[in-house]
């Protein structure tokens, strides 16, 4: 009988951390995840997985931070993982303009500290770096693949390019299995509530239940290649099982504007988005990535990967989820158990 593989996931509390740990646990991996200390426990997304898998010893959490390099090297030594997935990042592009130093420290030296811990391990450990379509900059209306030029437009994108290049350099210099997934936007009901798709679907649920009256957004003309996060973590896993470490683009090959997302999402509950949405400078970025469209033919051909959920299905599954969430919120508000939160806390 073969023993379980061991994975270490940084950023396990995030959207992709949830989907990836679920996938690996279902494949019988032992999954270790890093959690940052916060004043409230913030494992909400993975709580159901903790309840199911932690008593069996299959899901183990550790306090760590990418900025604490000693915690990374001691964890790698302790766990002796077969695969490390580096999902941790300050991943909000607009916040990266407001907190550029933190974003850059985590994205560059944080990622590099983890690579160093793996490089000095005696075990041959595979490494996945969460690279991003933001690295391309999105000025021209063209399809982007693994060889497209990297023209960063934000501190977030610049830090991702550094880690992307260091991962390639370590792969080539030390013959390490370091692989880079260049993922275009991927969303889900587990998406952070300050990213535009979730902000929209969450607002629709709250508007329908009378908790919120309007939705304030920034630039509605930006265009993104939006896929479903569950499909994208399967791609991460496949990259790590491929015989050679490489760079891989994952994308749907379709792009839509924020306005198109609004139209489909509001129409699905028979509302007209223009009656509710306003635009504020607060959500505009100092430098915008206008247009992203990915060409994932390499992954489709060599990894046999393809996205299964269409754009329309993605919007619907997010709206349906957030309608139910707002219904529960409304019951709590009506019973004076919670106070309604302001629609734009940040
Ligand atoms: P996310 O929901 O924002 O999750 C980010 C994770 O990183 C969270 O677990 C967060 O912990 C953790 N983290 C932040 N700073 C950290 C630090 N200093 N040390 C350790 N952990 C830290 O992001 P996601 O959407 O799951 O994305 C996963 C990764 O893929 C990120 O690196 C992101 O940049 C990249 N990416 C995402 C997309 C996308 O469309 N989703 C596309 C391309 C690339 P807390 O919960 O404590 O904040
Ligand atoms: O913005 C516009 C905004 O924040 C999408 C991250 O996961 O994907 C994500 O980065 C677009 C932008 O995602 C609002 O200006 C309008 O053009 O949802 P977003 P992002 O910046 O594309 C990439 C691939 C990553 O790697 C990142 O980690 O929507 N937009 N109004 C808005 N965006 C936000 N957040 N909020 C608004 O009110």
Sign of the Cα pseudo-torsion (237, 241, 244, 250, in order): negative
pLDDT at 1 over 70: no
Where are the domains positioned within the chain?
6-187+227-250, 196-223+254-290+309-334
Give 218 Cα–ligand 2 centroid separation in angstroms.
Answer: 10
Q: Phi then psi for 288, rounded to 5 degrees?
A: -105, 140
Assess whether 132 carries a catalytic annotation: yes
Q: What is the pLDDT at residue 345? A: 75
Report the interhelical angle of 69-79 vs 111-119 (nearest 10°): 40
Superfamily of domain 6-187+227-250: NAD(P)-binding Rossmann-like Domain (3.40.50.720)
Position 341 confidence tier, pLDDT thresholds 50, 70, 90: confident
Q: What is the pLDDT at residue 191? A: 98
Say which CATH architecture domain 196-223+254-290+309-334 belongs to.
Answer: Alpha-Beta Complex (3.90)
CA distances 330 to 5, 81, 206, 340, Å, are 43, 44, 8, 8
Minimal CA–CA distance to 207: which of 313, 278, 260?
278
Ligand 2: which of 161, 196, 277 to mutate, judged by most atoms within 8 Å of the beta carbon?
Answer: 196
User: Averaged over 121-134, what is the pLDDT?
Assistant: 98
Three-state secondary-structure class, residue 70: helix
Q: Which atom of ligand 1 is nearest to 38's Cα?
A: 47
* pLDDT, tens digit, 9 for 90 and up, residues 164-213: 999 999 999 999 999 999 999 999 999 999 999 999 999 999 999 999 99
Helices and strands (H and E) in the chain: how many: 12, 13
CB-based contact 239:248 (threshold 8 Å): yes
User: Averaged over 144-168, what is the pLDDT?
Assistant: 98
* pLDDT, tens digit, 9 for 90 and up, residues 226-256: 999 999 999 999 999 999 999 999 999 999 9
Q: What is the pLDDT at residue 2? A: 64
- Residue given tokens 């997304």 in the structure block: 45
Position 323 confidence tier, pLDDT thresholds 50, 70, 90: very high
CA distances 267 to 36, 160, 307, 330, Å, are 39, 36, 24, 22
């Amino acid at each position: 009988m073969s023993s379980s593989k061991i994975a270490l996931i940084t950023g396990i509390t995030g959207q992709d951390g949830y989907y990836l740990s679920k996938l690996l646990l279902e494949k019988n991996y032992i999954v270790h995840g890093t959690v940052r200390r916060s004043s409230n426990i913030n494992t909400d997304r993975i709580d159901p997985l903790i309840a199911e898998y932690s008593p069996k010893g299959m899901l183990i959490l550790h306090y760590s931070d990418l900025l604490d390099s000693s915690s990374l090297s001691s964890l790698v030594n302790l766990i002796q993982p077969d695969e490390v997935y580096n999902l941790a990042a300050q991943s909000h592009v607009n916040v990266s303009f407001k907190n550029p130093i933190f974003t850059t420290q985590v994205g560059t030296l944080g990622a590099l500290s983890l690579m160093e811990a793996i490089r000095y391990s005696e075990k041959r450990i595979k490494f996945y770096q969460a690279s991003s379509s933001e690295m391309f900059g999105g000025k021209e209306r063209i399809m982007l693949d693994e060889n497209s030029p990297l023209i960063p437009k934000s501190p977030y994108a610049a830090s991702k390019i550094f880690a992307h290049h260091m991962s390639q350099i370590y792969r080539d210099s030390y013959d390490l299995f370091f692989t880079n997934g260049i993922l275009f936007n991927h969303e889900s009901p587990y998406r952070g509530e300050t990213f535009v798709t979730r902000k929209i679907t969450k607002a629709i649920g709250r508007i329908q239940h009378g908790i919120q009256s309007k939705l304030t957004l920034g630039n509605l003309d930006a265009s993104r290649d939006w896929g479903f996060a569950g499909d994208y973590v399967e791609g991460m896993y496949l990259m790590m099982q491929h015989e050679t470490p490489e760079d891989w683009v994952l994308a749907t090959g379709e792009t839509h504007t924020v306005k198109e997302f609004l139209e489909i999402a509001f129409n699905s509950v028979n509302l007209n988005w223009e009656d509710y949405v306003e635009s504020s400078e607060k959500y505009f970025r100092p430098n915008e990535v206008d247009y992203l469209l990915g060409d994932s033919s390499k992954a489709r051909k060599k990894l046999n990967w393809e996205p299964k959920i269409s754009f329309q299905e993605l919007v619907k599954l997010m709206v349906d989820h957030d309608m139910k969430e707002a219904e529960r919120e409304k019951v709590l508000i009506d019973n004076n158990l919670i106070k309604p939160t302001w629609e734009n806390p940040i």
